[in-house]
Amino acid sequence: MSDSKKMQPIACGDKTIVPEGAKKIPIIVMGKEYLIPESLTVMKAVEYAGYKYHRGCGCRGGICGACGFFYRYEGDYKLRTGLACQTVAKPNMIIAQIPFFPMKRAAYNIGDLEETPEEIIRAHYPEVFKCVGCGTCTRTCPMEIDVMGYVAHMKQGNIKKAAKKSFDCILCGLCVSRCPAQISQPTAALMARRLNAKMLTPVADHLSKRVDEVGSGKYEKMLENLGSLDEESLKKLYMEREREPDLAKPGEWMPEDLTHL
């Protein structure tokens, strides 16, 4: 095998590997045109153009919400949104990133709240009742969440449904930036999810049992043993571990070795 074959670079994480002979396309960042190789994400294209991220970049995996951006195509009226780490740059995109957008965050200690979940939401986020049902938030959301729908559930006092519908929210703030009623939908929804977990969801007995076991020190010796192993032994242990088969039916598979359960 030749050295060049052995050294094939892998494009992962924040590493930009430009495909050989890639066609160059124009994009506009902060009002200035740059030629970048096609097939890069917007995040990598902006870096290729010479910018360095100090904010507005986190997981690079579509889950942290730090890289929301707006864009238009030249000559097209439509304002679009996306996550810079998940959207492939296209010719003539005019790009503006919003690494942060101010949202209202109600101050509360979840343990001190005693009213019903719907009363609590009404007291802390009364502005949800100003929603005019325009649907802009839903059209803006890069996670394809029915934002208007979860706001409607909050208005109706159905906190469980609001929690469920907003579950995939990554708090990118794009919907907040567009709401004519100035609602901070993601933080209100975060409160709905917390209330749902605290007040509307049955306590999981198995979780309490496991927390008690951890507290009683059951796993400390096992952790100590693991910590004393060298790298090779750890790798071997990892490679030889019992794994749940990919197609196992939920709740049906159990490992043969039950020592750690």
Could you list the residues that contact ligand SF4 (CB under 6 A)? Answer: 131-137, 140-141, 143, 145, 147-148, 151, 169-175, 178-181, 183, 185-186
Of these partners, ligand SF4, ligand FES, none, which one is at the site of residue 19 (CB under 5 to 8 Å by kind)? none
59 binds ligand FES (CB under 6 A): yes
Q: Which of 27, 40, 46, 83 binds ligand FES (CB under 6 A)?
A: 83
What are 9-16's contacts with CB under 8 Å, separation 24+? Answer: 13/60, 14/47, 14/57, 14/60, 16/40, 16/44, 16/47, 16/48
How many Å apart are CA 24 and CA 72, to the nearest integer?
Answer: 19
Q: Which of 25, 49, 85, 148 binds ligand FES (CB under 6 A)?
A: 85
Is the CB of 62 or the CB of 149 nearer to ligand FES?
A: 62
Q: Give the helix/strand (H/E) hosting 29.
A: strand 24-29
Residue 183: CB minimum distance to ligand FES, A: 22
DSSP 242-257: ----TTPPTTT---S-
Residue 117: CB minimum distance to ligand SF4, A: 19
Q: Which of 18, 39, 51, 63 binds ligand FES (CB under 6 A)?
A: 63
How many Å apart are CA 224 and CA 222, to the nearest integer?
Answer: 5
Q: Which of 27, 46, 60, 165 binds ligand FES (CB under 6 A)?
A: 60
Residue 65: CB minimum distance to ligand FES, A: 6
Please name the amino acid found at residue 225.
Answer: N
149 binds ligand FES (CB under 6 A): no
Contact 174, 65 (CB under 8 A): no
Residue 72: CB minimum distance to ligand FES, A: 20
Hey, which residues does 83 pair with through a beta bridge? 68
Residue 247: CB minimum distance to ligand SF4, A: 31
How many Å apart are CA 197 and CA 195, to the nearest integer?
Answer: 5
Three-point CA angle 85, 86, 91, nearest 5°: 95
Please report, as ranges, the residues that interact with ligand FES according to CB under 6 A. Answer: 57-60, 62-67, 83, 85
